Amino acid sequence: MCICLPVLFPKHGQAQYYYYNDRYYDTDLIFEAGGTIGVMNCLTDLGGKKGIGKGFIKDLNLKNSKPSFGIYFMGMYQNKIGIRLEGTFGKVAAYDSILKAYVPNTSGRYERNLSFRSNITDFQLSFELHPLYIFGSPDKALPLLSPYVVGGIGYFSFDPEAYLNGEWHRLQPLHTEGEGFDEYRDRKPYKLSQVNYPIGAGVKYELNSTFNLRIELVHRILTTDYLDDVSTTYIEPDLFSKYLPGQQALYAELLADRQRELNPGHVTIPNEQRGDPTGKDSFFSIQVKLGFTFGRESR
C-alpha cells in the first residue's frame, strides 16, 4: 500500500489547500488511519417484509441489523482522491419467523420457516472521491464538511448456520439444495470466500488538524445467491442419505425443509420453490469512522 501510493499520487511540494486559520497546511499526499463501529445487515431470500419478496431495500428489515467494527488505512491526494485498505468484521442474519405478524400476507415465506446467521470478514481496496475538492477552487479554505463516494473491490468470507435442537449447524456442508449432487449438476457447491464489489457514500467532518469523523454506508454487491444458503428449489429428501453420512444426512433433511415444524401435516413436493435464483444476495454496513491524519504540517 505504502509503495504504490507515491506512484499513483506524485508529490509536487506544498499543496495549495491550506487548513483553517492558516496554522496547518496539507502536503500533496497525506495519510490517515482509523477505526470504525456500526451495524451490518443483509438482503437475501429470507425474512423481509409482507407480500412477495421485493427488490433491494424494499424488502429490508432493519430489525436484523447486527454490530460490526473495522480498521482502515488510507492515502489521500490533495484531499480529492484517496486509496484505502479496510477490514470490516460483523455478522448478518435473517429469519422467516420475523414475518409472523403479517401472516397470511407473506406468500408462503413465513410458512417456509427458514433462518440463518453468518459471521462476515470483509476486506476491501477502494477509491474515495471528494467532489467539493475535485471541482472546488484551490484558493478557498478547506470545507470542514465533505461528502464523498467510495467504490472498489473486496474479498469476504462467510459461513451460514442454522439453529436446530439446541445447536448451530453449518449449512454449506449439508448441500441443502443438492449443490454438487449428480441430479443437480447445474448447482455447484458455493465457496465460503468470494469477491464482492463495494459501493457507497459518506460524509467527512474535520474535528481538528489531527482527527476527523465520518459517517458512511457501503453496500457490497455479491456474485453469490447463497449468503443465506437459500437460492432455488427443494430437492428429493432421499438424496441426502445417498451423498452424506448418516447423522449429516439427517440434519440436512431437517434443515433443508422446515415447513413441518409449523405444519406437521405439510408435504413438500420436490422442485417446489425454496428461494429466488433471479437475484443475488448482498450485505451492507453503516459505520461511524474516527480517523487520525498524519502528513499534515504546521506552518
CATH of the domain at 79: 2.40.160.20
In a domain, 3, yes or no: no
Residue 38 forms part of a structural domain: yes
Asked whether residue 8 is assigned to any structural domain, the reply reads no
Would you say residue 82 lies in a domain?
Answer: yes
Q: Which residue has the higher pLDDT, 102 or 215?
A: 215
State yes or no: pLDDT of 13 exceeds 60: no
Structural domain including 234 reads 28-298
Query: What are the CA-CA distances from residue 246 to residues 166, 176, 240, 251 (Å)?
Result: 19, 15, 9, 9
Average pLDDT over residues 159-168: 96
Q: In total, how many domains does the chain have?
A: 1
3-state secondary structure of 6: helix
The answer to whether residue 20 sits within a structural domain is no
C-alpha cell at 77: 491526494
- Mean pLDDT (the chain) is 88
Q: Is residue 10 part of a domain?
A: no
- Grid coordinates standing for 95? 429469519
pLDDT tens-digit readout, 64-82: 999 999 999 999 998 899 9
Burial environment of residue 61 by CB neighbours within 10 A (0 to 12, 13 to 18, 19 or more): middle
Kindly state the helix (H) or strand (E) to which residue 241 belongs, with its residue range. helix 238-243
Inside any domain, residue 106: yes
- 21, part of any domain: no
In the 8-state DSSP scheme, what is residue 227?
A: T
Q: Is the pLDDT of residue 63 over 70?
A: yes
Q: Which residues have C-beta within 8 Å of that of residue 140, sequence separation ≥ 6?
A: none
